[in-house]
Structure 1
Amino acid sequence: MNADFYSESFTVKAYECDAEARMTPGAILRRAQQISTDQCDLLGLTNEVYARTHTAFLLAKLAVEFYAPVRAGQCVTLATRPSAPQRAVYGRYTTLCAQDGTVLSAVDSRWILVDTRTKRILRRPPEDMPMPFVQPPVCELDVSLVKGEAQPVAEETAFYTRCDQNRHMNNTYYADIVCDHVPLERIAAHAHARLAVVYHSEVPMGASFTLLRAQTGENGWYFVGTDGEKKHFEANLTLTE
């Protein structure tokens, strides 16, 4: 099994797409998350290993660039390339390509390994935990944020259907929330160009937070989710001109 590269092909399902038959950012992130899990399972980084070593990978930040819409019924190939940790951050670069090799979208995700008992970041994995990722990053996207004076737009909740086995809101659903709070006439008429998300703290199942939004350009927005003084995440979404 190649630890440096792994790919899977699939046909985009209608339920992964929006009203314009375009694959949503959240659906792309769910596919990217799944291929990461599939590769780790094949390499021996299974749930049993995480449970035994009291560890977990948590997503710290990501950026997605959208080069062309991905359509329902389209046959595509997802390829992922994990890299060795840099100052305790494990990078993973994932591309979504058309059958002719054209890159339709790219995801740069940055992960940290934590001790689930102490919540401390681990700069080295436990001795009995295999860690096969040794290659330098093949590509990195801009994960920085453009911020603005955000105002409240909604109250959001980590409902049952938004949560995963860790019993907190799955990181891909923040992309859905962001897209749902861009003005409808904008997101229906313009394709996605870029999404960046920084994750600060988990939202436990059943908990709520306030979503704030600021416009950063004609087709750009900044979002932040807070619970009082506690910040859960920040994000930028940019649409095409």
Structure 2
Amino acid sequence: MKARPWIESRVVRASDVTPNGTASVLALATFFQEAAGRHAAALGVSMQDLLADGKAWVLARLRMEVDRLPAWEEEITIETWPSGLDRLYATREFVFRDQDDRELARGTSAWLVIDTERRRPLRPPSVLYDIEVPDRPAPLGQEEVDFAALSTVDREQTFSVRYHDLDLNRHVNNVRYLEWALETLSPEILEERRCVGIALQFEAETTLGDSVRATAEEQQEGDSLRVRHRLSHATSDRTLARAVTRWTSISEDESR
């Protein structure tokens, strides 16, 4: 079976935007996750299909670069396609475009299928080996992201896992980890800068009632800011996820 890229449109809702009037990177990550799920369903490997067989999709890695965040009520398109299998990982690419077909953001991701009882990775479903992926270049080049341990802690906050943080397979939704990482940053960064890049690596799950400690290390790089994030279990200190985000000044960005 030949897989064609999946394309869908979205209108940026009021609940998707920040006080700056543009969609957050959290909204873009959610848009991508939903489009990926619909495409997986069209290919016969939806979350519902897997859950019926005691399995589930989990996001293992995500990397995204952002040129421009869309504004409130702006219509955008999301294009996504599977790009192959790398051992136990199923890789998937995506591109966001505005109504003039200009790229807003682009990214790549890697997904695992897990046994929902044993919580261990499984071999990808056989149907994925029969899919002929689109012959097109990846929107992002290969890049090794440095997820090394933080050398210092500039910001710290603790969050409790609530019922509405959970997804279909009863673990914390992937985007929630990113939300906790960003929420740890100062209001000045969130107000005066725009996120232009994110990289996430998920390492462990959390359950209802757990406490999650989010820490961040800020590194100035010229006019840009690079932030390294770690999310850990507040009691055991087990690492749950690591992230790197990059930020640019909103005023400089708008003056281009």
Q: TM-score, normalised by structure 2?
A: 0.85
Aligned match for 1:149, one of 142, 148, 151: 151
TM-superposition CA deviations, 1:163-205 (whole Å, max 9, x none): 2122221001122112212221122111111111110001112
In the other structure, the counterpart of 1:214 is 217
Number of residue equivalences: 239
TM-superposition CA deviations, 1:18-40 (whole Å, max 9, x none): 00011111111111111111112
- Farther off after superposition, 71-80 or 147-156: 147-156
Q: CA deviation at 1:220?
A: 1.4
Q: CA deviation at 1:2?
A: 6.2
For residues 34 and 185 of structure 2, the distance between their equivalents in structure 1, rounded to whole angstroms, comes to: 26
Letter in 1 for 2:238: K
Q: Kindly report which structure 2 residues correspond to 1:96-175, keeping only aligned pairs within 5 A, or say none.
A: 96-125=96-125, 133-135=131-133, 138-139=137-138, 140-141=140-141, 142=143, 144-145=145-146, 147=148, 148-151=150-153, 153-175=156-178
Residues 161, 101 of structure 1: CA spacing in aligned structure 2 closer, same or farther, 3 A cutoff? same
Structure with the larger RCO, 1 or 2 (CA within 8 Å, 6+ apart)? 1
TM-superposition CA deviations, 1:53-111 (whole Å, max 9, x none): 32222111111111112111111111101122112211111111001111101121111
Letter in 1 for 2:132: V
For residues 128 and 189 of structure 2, the distance between their equivalents in structure 1, rounded to whole angstroms, comes to: 46
In the other structure, the counterpart of 1:234 is 242
In the other structure, the counterpart of 1:177 is 180
Identity of aligned residues (%): 20
Residues 41, 132 of structure 1: CA spacing in aligned structure 2 closer, same or farther, 3 A cutoff? farther
Q: CA deviation at 1:115?
A: 2.6
8 Å CA contact 2:181–2:215 kept in 1: the answer is: no
For residues 129 and 12 of structure 2, the distance between their equivalents in structure 1, rounded to whole angstroms, comes to: 32
Unaligned 5+ residue runs, structure 1? none
CA RMSD of aligned residues (A): 2.2
For residues 109 and 144 of structure 2, the distance between their equivalents in structure 1, rounded to whole angstroms, comes to: 9
Confirm whether residue 45 of structure 1 aligns to residue 51 of structure 2.
no
In the other structure, the counterpart of 1:4 is 4
For residues 39 and 13 of structure 1, the distance between their equivalents in structure 2, rounded to whole angstroms, comes to: 22
4+ residue segments displaced more than 4 Å: 129-132
